[in-house]
């Protein structure tokens, strides 16, 4: 903040001291906010252990391991033959490399500093580290729009917003973890460029955009939101050369850089998501040209040109609406989702919107636009709540900061008046607060009026300059009007208001801690349940993957439903047929068909794919609801979609998938049923399925083409081996046996497996 | 909808048929064609007697197929069945078919109402709606006719047309939908638009359009916010009603649905209103109330804001806990604990 020149040297010294103290306090607060953002995400590590949680992160982890072992060039050209057998997958060209490269760099840096952390540890803590970065970026962004106080408030709120916690707890090693930081930082640099008009920040902005493109497919949000803001500025007559500098380099450099990312490539210029940015780029040039010509033209001609531009803008907007409307296949959230994910911020955002309009600057209009688009998209698709979270935090921070500003000012001024009646003393003791307190409505209004009247300023004064002007303008007329009443509220009610806002904030903190600890920190790889006896831990998944990696051959192929593909490759290091990257529908349908076929047909399918082991997840014994029987309908549907001999109706009784006595014969004979319920009756004598809540239909049966090789402690994972092919001719059988023996000994000689 | 033919005539016809030589197939076709001509949409309205006459006849005298729509006026008010919508789509399908095949005697479209033809519903074995059946000449019994699968209602008339084409081999052709606005309305709107253009240009040149007014942008932003946090998009995409009637007590209305997976329109807007209200009140205190001169007004308004805000926030928290079943609790250091809490 610039100090008015009229103030005396003494007060300038005092002010400098205060400013320095404020700076130190601010830095310290930011440090604490970073610590808060990091530590609130550690519940999963404290409650369970330092592991990676979900399905997708295991893939990212495996890629990072590969990167740290083989270096960046190998990673770039990596063809992975462990998945999608026999097709394989080109990894380097089909992933967003941002997260992997970030974690790889952190690991490399730590190791070169002789801090020997494992790749897994680095991966587990990448998301919390970047949450701290994101809250600092939020501080910077909000500070650009509404000052330091709002910035600190917004950063503190963002550090613990549940919506963001849900995707960034320790162990959730997913793209969003770094992408949200990149998103906020890109917006910060854009607003910074808009406020300063500096090409340096514009270049940084393009680089930050490049990082975002590397990290997440959600970068299209940026490349649509910023053009929308530019268009809005143009349409409302706020064009300036700063706007041009903020936008034109971003489009050119950003697009060139984005095309460097293999997974984006020529999509950066050829797909419709990017067209908006180019269209606005053209409009911006037309407008820039018009503003240049304006000096040469009569005002009247200029206005005709303006009309033309506005019409073009409107046609663009109307064209854009169907694109937005077409997203409507996605999952819309209900109102409790908002309360769960942004909690009391939902109450504060409207106040933030209004604060942004009083007065409206380029930066604050960007905030409002960001919020409005994000809240709309989140209303269409619940996953985009994550994009809404930063906007919600920024606007709530602005609202809370404005409210605290007014209330503390009221208390501070009237408190000093209570102790000391002389108004001059109070004025001297808090020159800043009184001058801020007497912010005359007229001055702000007149300023906005001047802004309006000059519809097309050649170059608006930058924000800093304007602030300076404003303060100068205020401080001059304010002094004589000291006796005029200050903009304050009643003392006792202000105290009450502050207390209530603190209670509201306290509730937010309690909710966030609860959400972080209870709702979002449960890994799906280790499960727990509580009952009267105490805590039960189900570690069956790792047990099964451990068994696979120790007891099977390195080149054996394991078939399972695609959900478990990433984990099998990462934890068991075995080749899988399908995995969570669902790029080949036919392949998934083949596995689905095998699972829904009778034993013999399934064996033939699996044998044709060289599969040796089949893995199923079964929750009937412990009551784990997301098991393969509950996912079975997708296997039937996807399988039936490609192979018409699988008909869903054959598995349905009265429209339901049932596995009890009423189940259809097809259901009771399919491979999935048999593999899940084989020997199940031996557990309790009745075959009672705890997930479905009834006794199973067919209890005693034998497997002809598969043999059980491993079942985990709680029966959650069961692994079966395909029986060798039966031979009709005796002599051949012997020959084959001896062949397979030699081959297996050969294989055993190659691999280092202490268990065989 | 076609008016039902006079009942005595219908009763008389089978008797005549029995007495005289059995009516030829051509007679039945001709009769159906005349019935169809009398109906504006080309959908024949059947009753118990006409079902017996046209559909229970032996296949040799029934060379035509009939696509039968089972309707129930009493269920039109159930929003999740979409019966009225499906009925209009069915009429569109019939009209499109007749446009393509004028005077065809191979396929007829008919509907039947539950309240007046309960016997036929029983004969067909229909006990749930929506239900559409195709009775082809080779079907010997009514119950043996083919039911249209639920999936064929999905894309309305288009998917029904696919069903008909695949089963009968007849071509339905493109579905002809009436345009949203009639020709005259379009002309009127065009004229209004042309008239307004000079005014609009004048306003734009003066810089006084709505686009230049900050209050419009502010109101728009607040409205989008209100609409989204209310789950309004959920209501649009999932077609949820504003409220339900209580199953046990039809006079009672249910506005709040327990369970976080679903919401009703009214509850969303109520909560969205509370969200927005509190925000607006905070903004009012921060930006508006400070400028009020009278201390008394300030005091009164702030008290009201605090009271209403307190109530609204509590209400939302209560509703959320009730709806989702979550119990949010605090975490304290374990050394502070006097007794051993199960957590």
Tell me the per-residue pLDDT of B78-94, one tens digit each, with 9 for 90 and over: 766 777 777 888 888 88
pLDDT tens for each residue of B156-168: 677 777 777 777 7
The shortest C-alpha distance from A510 to chain B (Å) reads 6
Of B220, B231, B285, the CB nearest to A335: B231
How do strand A694-695 and strand A688-689 relate by DSSP bridges?
antiparallel
Q: Across the interface, do A513 and B260 touch by the CB < 8 Å criterion? A: no
Of B221, B290, B309, the CB nearest to A353: B221
The sign of the CA dihedral A354, A360, A366, A369 is: positive
Q: How many CB atoms lie within 10 A of CB B244?
A: 16
The shortest C-alpha distance from B227 to chain A (Å) reads 8
- Helical (H) or strand (E) element with B188: helix B183-206
* Helix spans in A259-384 (H): 267-270, 275-294, 299-325, 335-341, 345-357, 362-380
* Residues of A in Cβ contact (< 8 Å) with B273: none
CATH (residue range A539-728): 3.40.50.12610
User: Does the pLDDT at position B309 exceed 50?
Assistant: yes
User: What's the average model confidence in pLDDT over B284-307?
Assistant: 90
Instruction: Provide φ and ψ at B279, rounded to 5°.
Output: -60, -45
**Average pLDDT by stretches of 10, chain A with 756 residues:** 49 82 94 95 87 85 92 90 85 88 95 93 94 96 92 95 91 89 96 94 96 91 91 83 93 94 88 86 86 65 55 46 40 86 92 90 91 88 88 95 92 81 43 39 38 38 42 40 63 91 93 88 78 79 92 91 88 88 82 91 91 91 86 86 86 82 88 91 86 87 90 91 75 50 42 40
| Chain A residue whose CA is closest to B206 | A303
Contact of B164 with B134, CB cutoff 8 Å: yes
Q: How far apart are CA A543 and CA A710, in angstroms?
A: 10
User: Does the pLDDT at position B343 exceed 70?
Assistant: no
Q: How far apart are CA A419 and CA A248, in angstroms?
A: 57
What's the confidence (pLDDT) of residue A500? Answer: 93
User: Does the pLDDT at position B203 exceed 90?
Assistant: no
Identify the CA nearest to B259 among candidates A626, A691, A336, A344: A336
What's the confidence (pLDDT) of residue A435? Answer: 39
| Chain A residue whose CA is closest to B238 | A332
Q: Is B187 exposed, middle or buried (0-12, 13-18, 19+ CB in 10 A)?
A: exposed
Task: Decide if B228 touches A, using CB distance below 8 A.
Answer: yes
* Residues of A in Cβ contact (< 8 Å) with B259: none
Task: Decide if B256 touches A, using CB distance below 8 A.
Answer: no
Q: Which of residues 248-277 of A touch B (CB under 8 A)?
A: none
What's the confidence (pLDDT) of residue B154? Answer: 62
Question: Which residues are CB-contacts of A12 (< 8 A; sequence separation ≥ 6)?
Answer: A3
Strands (E) in B121-251, as ranges, are 131-135, 146-147, 244-245
What's the confidence (pLDDT) of residue A459? Answer: 39
The shortest C-alpha distance from A396 to chain B (Å) reads 9
User: What's the average model confidence in pLDDT over B235-258?
Assistant: 77
Q: Which of residues 323-352 of A touch B (CB under 8 A)?
A: 328, 332-340, 344, 346-352
Q: Across the interface, do B286 and A355 touch by the CB < 8 Å criterion? A: yes
Among the residue ranges A628-632, B45-49, B137-141, the one predicted with the least confidence is: B137-141
User: What's the average model confidence in pLDDT over B242-254?
Assistant: 76
What's the confidence (pLDDT) of residue B257? Answer: 81
For residue A508, what are its two tokens?
Answer: 């937010």
Q: Which of residues 162-181 of B touch A (CB under 8 A)?
A: none
What's the confidence (pLDDT) of residue B209? Answer: 58
Q: Across the interface, do B234 and A332 touch by the CB < 8 Å criterion? A: yes
Q: Across the interface, do A497 and B303 touch by the CB < 8 Å criterion? A: no
What's the confidence (pLDDT) of residue A306? Answer: 55
Q: Across the interface, do B218 and A452 touch by the CB < 8 Å criterion? A: no
Of B204, B228, B299, the CB nearest to A379: B228
* Residues of B in Cβ contact (< 8 Å) with A335: 229-231, 263, 267-268, 271-272
Q: Across the interface, do A496 and B306 touch by the CB < 8 Å criterion? A: yes
Q: Across the interface, do A328 and B237 touch by the CB < 8 Å criterion? A: yes
Planar angle of CA A726, A728, A731, nearest 5 degrees: 105
- B85 φ/ψ sector (left φ>0, alpha ψ -120 to 50, else beta): alpha
User: Does the pLDDT at position B278 exceed 90?
Assistant: yes
- Helical (H) or strand (E) element with A47: helix A43-47
| Chain A residue whose CA is closest to B260 | A336
Q: Across the interface, do A406 and B283 touch by the CB < 8 Å criterion? A: no
Indicate the length of chain B as a whole number.
Answer: 343
The shortest C-alpha distance from B268 to chain A (Å) reads 6
What's the confidence (pLDDT) of residue A200? Answer: 95
The shortest C-alpha distance from B103 to chain A (Å) reads 38
What's the confidence (pLDDT) of residue A436? Answer: 40
Task: Decide if A286 touches B, using CB distance below 8 A.
Answer: no
Instruction: Provide φ and ψ at A433, rounded to 5°.
Output: -65, -40
């Amino acid at each position: 903040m610039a100090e008015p020149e009229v103030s005396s040297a003494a007060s300038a010294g005092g002010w400098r001291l205060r400013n320095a103290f404020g700076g130190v306090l601010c830095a310290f607060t930011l440090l604490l906010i970073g610590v808060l953002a990091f530590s609130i995400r550690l519940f999963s590590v404290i409650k369970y252990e330092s592991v990676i949680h979900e399905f997708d992160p295991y893939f990212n982890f495996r890629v990072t391991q590969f990167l740290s072992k083989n270096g960046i060039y190998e990673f770039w050209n990596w063809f992975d033959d462990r998945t999608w057998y026999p097709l394989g997958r080109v990894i380097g060209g089909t992933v967003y490399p941002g997260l992997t490269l970030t974690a790889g760099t952190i690991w490399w840096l730590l190791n070169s500093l002789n801090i020997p952390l494992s790749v897994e540890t680095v991966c587990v803590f990448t998301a919390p580290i970047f949450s701290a970065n994101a809250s600092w970026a939020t501080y910077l962004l909000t500070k650009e729009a509404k000052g330091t106080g709002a910035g600190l408030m917004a950063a503190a709120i963002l550090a613990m917003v549940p919506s963001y916690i849900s995707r960034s707890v320790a162990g959730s090693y997913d793209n969003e973890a770094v992408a949200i930081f990149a998103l906020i930082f890109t917006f910060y640099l854009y607003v910074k460029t808009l406020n300063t008009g500096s090409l340096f920040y514009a270049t940084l902005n393009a680089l930050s955009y490049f990082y975002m493109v590397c990290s997440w497919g959600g970068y299209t949000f940026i490349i649509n939101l910023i053009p929308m803001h530019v268009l809005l500025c143009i349409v409302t007559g706020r064009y300036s050369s700063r706007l041009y500098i903020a936008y034109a380099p971003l489009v050119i450099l950003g697009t060139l850089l984005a095309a460097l990312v293999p997974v984006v490539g020529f999509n950066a210029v050829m797909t419709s998501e990017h067209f908006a940015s180019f269209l606005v780029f053209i409009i911006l040039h037309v407008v820039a040209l018009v503003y240049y010509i304006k000096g040469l033209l009569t005002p009247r001609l200029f206005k005709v040109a303006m009309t033309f531009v506005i019409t073009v803008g409107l046609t663009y907007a109307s064209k854009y609406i169907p694109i937005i409307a077409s997203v409507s296949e996605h999952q819309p959230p209900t109102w409790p989702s908002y309360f769960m994910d942004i909690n009391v911020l939902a109450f504060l955002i409207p106040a933030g919107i209004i604060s942004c309009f009083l007065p409206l600057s380029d930066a604050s209009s960007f905030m409002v636009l960001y919020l409005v688009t994000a809240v709309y998209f989140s209303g269409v698709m619940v996953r985009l709540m994550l994009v809404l979270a930063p906007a919600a935090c920024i606007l709530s921070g602005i609202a809370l900061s404005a409210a605290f500003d007014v209330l503390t000012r009221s208390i501070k001024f009237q408190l000093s008046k209570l102790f000391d009646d002389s108004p001059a003393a109070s004025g001297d003791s808090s020159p800043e607060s009184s001058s801020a307190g007497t912010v005359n409505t007229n001055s702000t209004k007149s300023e906005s009026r001047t802004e309006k009247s000059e519809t097309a300023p050649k170059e608006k004064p930058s924000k800093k300059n304007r602030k300076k002007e404003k303060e100068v303008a205020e401080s001059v007329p304010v002094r004589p009007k000291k006796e005029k009443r200050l903009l304050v509220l009643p003392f006792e009610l202000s105290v009450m208001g502050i207390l209530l806002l603190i209670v509201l904030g306290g509730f937010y903190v309690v909710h966030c801690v609860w959400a972080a600890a209870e709702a979002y920190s449960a890994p799906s790889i280790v499960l727990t349940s509580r009952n009267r006896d105490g805590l039960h831990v189900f570690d069956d998944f790792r047990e099964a993957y451990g068994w696979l990696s120790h007891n099977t051959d390195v080149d054996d192929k394991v078939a399972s439903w695609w959900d478990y593909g990433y984990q099998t490759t990462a934890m068991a290091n075995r080749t899988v047929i399908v995995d969570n990257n669902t790029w080949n529908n036919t392949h998934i349908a083949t596995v689905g068909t095998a699972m829904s076929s009778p034993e013999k047909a399934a064996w033939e399918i699996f044998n044709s794919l060289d599969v040796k082991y089949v893995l199923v997840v079964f929750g009937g014994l412990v009551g784990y609801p997301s098991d393969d029987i509950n996912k079975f309908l997708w296997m039937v549907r996807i399988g039936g979609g490609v192979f018409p001999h699988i008909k869903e109706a054959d598995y349905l009784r009265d429209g339901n998938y049932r596995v009890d006595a009423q189940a259809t014969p097809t259901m009771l004979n399919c491979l999935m049923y048999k593999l899940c319920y084989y020997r199940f009756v031996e557990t309790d004598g009745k075959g009672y399925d705890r997930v479905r809540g009834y006794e199973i239909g067919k209890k005693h049966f034998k497997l002809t083409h598969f043999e059980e090789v491993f079942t985990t402690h709680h029966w959650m994972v069961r692994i079966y081996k395909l029986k060798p092919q039966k031979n009709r001719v005796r002599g051949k059988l012997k020959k084959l046996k001896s062949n397979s023996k030699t081959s297996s000994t050969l294989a055993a000689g190659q691999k280092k497996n202490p268990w065989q | 909808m076609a008016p039902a033919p006079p009942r005595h005539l219908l009763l008389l016809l089978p008797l005549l048929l029995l007495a005289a030589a059995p009516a030829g197939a051509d007679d039945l076709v001709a009769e159906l064609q005349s019935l169809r001509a009398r109906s504006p949409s080309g959908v024949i309205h059947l009753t118990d007697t006409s079902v017996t006459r046209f559909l229970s006849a032996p296949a040799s005298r029934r060379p035509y197929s009939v696509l039968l729509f089972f309707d129930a006026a009493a269920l039109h008010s159930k929003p999740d069945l979409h019966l009225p919508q499906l009925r209009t789509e069915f009429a569109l399908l019939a009209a499109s078919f007749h446009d393509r095949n004028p005077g065809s005697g191979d396929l007829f479209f008919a509907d039947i109402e539950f309240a007046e033809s309960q016997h036929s519903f029983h004969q067909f074995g229909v006990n749930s709606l929506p239900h559409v059946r195709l009775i082809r000449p080779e079907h010997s019994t009514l119950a043996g006719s083919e039911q249209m699968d639920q999936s064929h209602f999905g894309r309305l008339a288009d998917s029904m047309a696919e069903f008909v084409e695949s089963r009968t081999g007849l071509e339905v052709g493109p579905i002809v939908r009436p345009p949203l606005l009639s020709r005259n309305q379009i002309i009127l709107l065009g004229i209004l638009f042309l008239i307004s253009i000079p005014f609009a240009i004048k306003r734009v040149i003066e810089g006084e359009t709505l686009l230049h007014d900050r209050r419009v942008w502010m109101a728009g932003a607040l409205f989008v916010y209100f609409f989204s946090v209310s789950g309004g998009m959920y209501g649009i995409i999932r077609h949820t009603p504003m409220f339900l009637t209580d199953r046990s007590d039809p006079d009672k209305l249910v506005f709040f649905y327990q369970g976080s997976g679903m919401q009703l329109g009214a509850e969303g807007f109520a909560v969205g209103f509370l969200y927005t209200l509190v925000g607006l009140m905070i903004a009012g205190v921060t930006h508006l109330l400070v400028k009020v001169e009278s201390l008394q007004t300030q005091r009164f308004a702030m008290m009201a804001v605090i009271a209403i805000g307190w109530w609204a926030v509590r209400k939302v928290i209560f509703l959320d806990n009730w709806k989702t079943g979550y119990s949010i609790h605090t975490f304290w250091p374990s050394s502070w604990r006097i007794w051993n809490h199960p957590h």
